[in-house]
Structure 1
């Protein structure tokens, strides 16, 4: 981990769903680190951890990325699986989680994840000797995120890997820096970065003087609506009713609705596994015995019991992606004797996410208001992240700015590229979240 040249700048885009690492040399060449798994090379490292013990009391081992999912799906050991843990970074109510006999703080989880990433990334990592630039959201996920707490946890995790010197840059600023290399003239740019857990927006004024790229920050805003939210809308309307949501059970002489709280566990697939240990699965079994449609709850129980959440959500995500290119898709999930099928139209999907789109639009209006400009004054709009391909999202921006101003980048690598390049910029501190590009009051 210490063999990288001091001339190497590392950009780390740690995302809710995926993480990408980019390396930039001092000649401005930049590339993403590739991970060899399953006979393929991937630039995306799934933001997941799987802990297990080969035998009770032997001590926990950890794997990350696609290896974590592989370990989880093989199910050869008792495991503790963690995904989307970035969503807890700014949560003051999250203190520790139990992993076998050890309590893990957020910084413990992140450090363990980064160690697996560095191990699989090979000898090109040099956390101690390289310039490190880490992306962070404009607004962290959660109802009342504590930004100072999140950054304290980030720094503690990176310090454990010898990267206490790391800089932190807003994720859309990283994307903006990557995009700005394409600009042929000065421009005011809105960057929209759609991740798994949050969507972030930055307005920046780019100019070149003496061959050097300059940027003036005009405004930043973010919201906890992104790709995972859209997945959940499909789950809520297509999957949950098929698993008993909205059905009833008999309690003495009364007929009552099945508690909807059980279906919040379907918000993300890895939460289903937790139902085995928190008492929810036991309660579901009791409800099934008195349910008017017990077969629905029995299918829910099967999905939890057999750890089918990953396969279920993969089917949901595939349907969402297909709806970006098709007017309707045939959703189908089969496993463990459970068979869920439905035709989903784009029109229905867009009605399910309409409120989310409206809130995204309000956040775009907020960042324009903070920048004190109108939509007409934005010359380029750079969209990045997989959710930017959802037609309703694209339409939101086309209606406000016009199709001719919309541009897209690599849905996964743009931010990491920009972060790595910022490390080689003449004055990298200006780009950091606590430097010249910090948000104005209210951002």
Structure 2
């Protein structure tokens, strides 16, 4: 059984999807007690085994070997793992088993704390700092007290909170509200003398582009062909069939991502997607997108308030707010923070690298243990 990781894995999957099993962001199941192992071509692999394969490819593509690694490694982790009821103790145990193969001291740090540490290096005066990290799967918030340079313990973490809503969910909102209606969602088909709704099950796998490849099977395509013959909007069903037959899931989500990014700087954007048997064009207004994600932003705001509560602080006691991660560029996300803290206290920059940069700096800190997630914080 061959395997690959990172962008190289995506390339291989797109070239040969029917002969592959694609696992996207497997860290999302780290805290899921229902997950025991993944079945890959007759072989069952536990989380730690999948992780060790990933680490081996990471070293290989980086041109490194195990002996090149330092004795102390800092690993960023989300404040809250993805899932309905993620188990942080289980996630920690799985990561410990995964990294055991490296034979190094592993220090787990909340990802926004890494960004906070990097941002603190810019400051010359004491301050209370809030970092909001918007990743693909989670939005995490951490509060840190920063003292003047030269103080023995310059940065002190005060509180953190997180939620499993971020960029991937925003992408799905565009898929659900804009694209899926063009593929037949919400339309009907004739059954004898009745008009029935198109079954929602046909659209369930559109929440993850990699799952669409699994729909390219004889049974599903046969069912869709019958549905198209009786559909009141047969052209829409034909577009869905084209996406599945052409294995266009990845390209479709790329087009959605382009629209989301365009709406960060423009009040409207053109969604355009073309492929064999499909051509879609539709204008998207930023106001519509903000309405689609409104409930997500409300939950994110409550989680932000929880981080402040854990730190025993109110918004007026925060001196600087650092927004990082790709979704921090969404105007509606920024407005959420402007309303609470005022525009003058908000900073952005290096949205895609700030966490890794801060964790790298932190690894050299003699007080690294003050930043490490303690066992009693996991429950």
Q: Does 1:233 align with 2:233?
A: no
Q: Does 1:408 align with 2:353?
A: no
1:25-424 equivalences under 5 Å are: 60-75=1-16, 78-123=19-64, 126=67, 129-163=70-104, 165-208=105-148, 210-276=150-216, 283-424=223-364
Q: How many angstroms apart in 1 are the aligned matches of 2:17 and 2:245?
A: 15
1:9-20 equivalences under 5 Å are: none
Per-residue deviation at 1:73? 2.1
Per-residue deviation at 1:262? 2.6
Answer yes or no: is the 8 Å Cα contact 2:89–2:378 preserved in 1.
no
Structure 2 residue ranges without an equivalent (≥5): none
Q: Call closer, same or farther: CA 1:289–1:102 in 2, change over 3 Å.
A: farther
Q: Call closer, same or farther: CA 1:382–1:278 in 2, change over 3 Å.
A: farther
Answer yes or no: is the 8 Å Cα contact 2:124–2:148 preserved in 1.
no
The more displaced of 287-296 and 353-362 is: 287-296
Q: Call closer, same or farther: CA 1:221–1:279 in 2, change over 3 Å.
A: farther
Answer yes or no: is the 8 Å Cα contact 2:124–2:149 preserved in 1.
no
Answer yes or no: is the 8 Å Cα contact 1:228–1:268 preserved in 2.
no
Q: How many angstroms apart in 1 are the aligned matches of 2:142 and 2:232?
A: 51
Answer yes or no: is the 8 Å Cα contact 1:139–1:200 preserved in 2.
yes
Structure 1 residue ranges without an equivalent (≥5): 1-59
Aligned residues: 379
Post-superposition Cα deviations, 1:273-322, rounded to whole Å, max 9, x if no partner, equal 23346965554344334333233223212212221001101000001001
Post-superposition Cα deviations, 1:383-439, rounded to whole Å, max 9, x if no partner, equal 11010000000111111111111111311211112212222111211110117xx75
Per-residue deviation at 1:234? 0.7
Q: Call closer, same or farther: CA 1:382–1:439 in 2, change over 3 Å.
A: farther
Q: Partner of 1:182: helix, strand, or coil?
A: coil
Answer yes or no: is the 8 Å Cα contact 1:196–1:227 preserved in 2.
yes
Q: Call closer, same or farther: CA 1:278–1:195 in 2, change over 3 Å.
A: farther
Q: Call closer, same or farther: CA 1:62–1:195 in 2, change over 3 Å.
A: same
Q: Partner of 1:219: helix, strand, or coil?
A: strand
Normalized per residue, the structure richer in strand is: 1
Q: Partner of 1:234: helix, strand, or coil?
A: helix
Normalized per residue, the structure richer in helix is: 2
Answer yes or no: is the 8 Å Cα contact 1:231–1:316 preserved in 2.
yes
Equivalent residue number for residue 47 of structure 1: none
Q: Partner of 2:270: helix, strand, or coil?
A: strand
Q: Call closer, same or farther: CA 1:357–1:173 in 2, change over 3 Å.
A: same
Per-residue deviation at 1:253? 3.6
Q: Call closer, same or farther: CA 1:207–1:331 in 2, change over 3 Å.
A: same
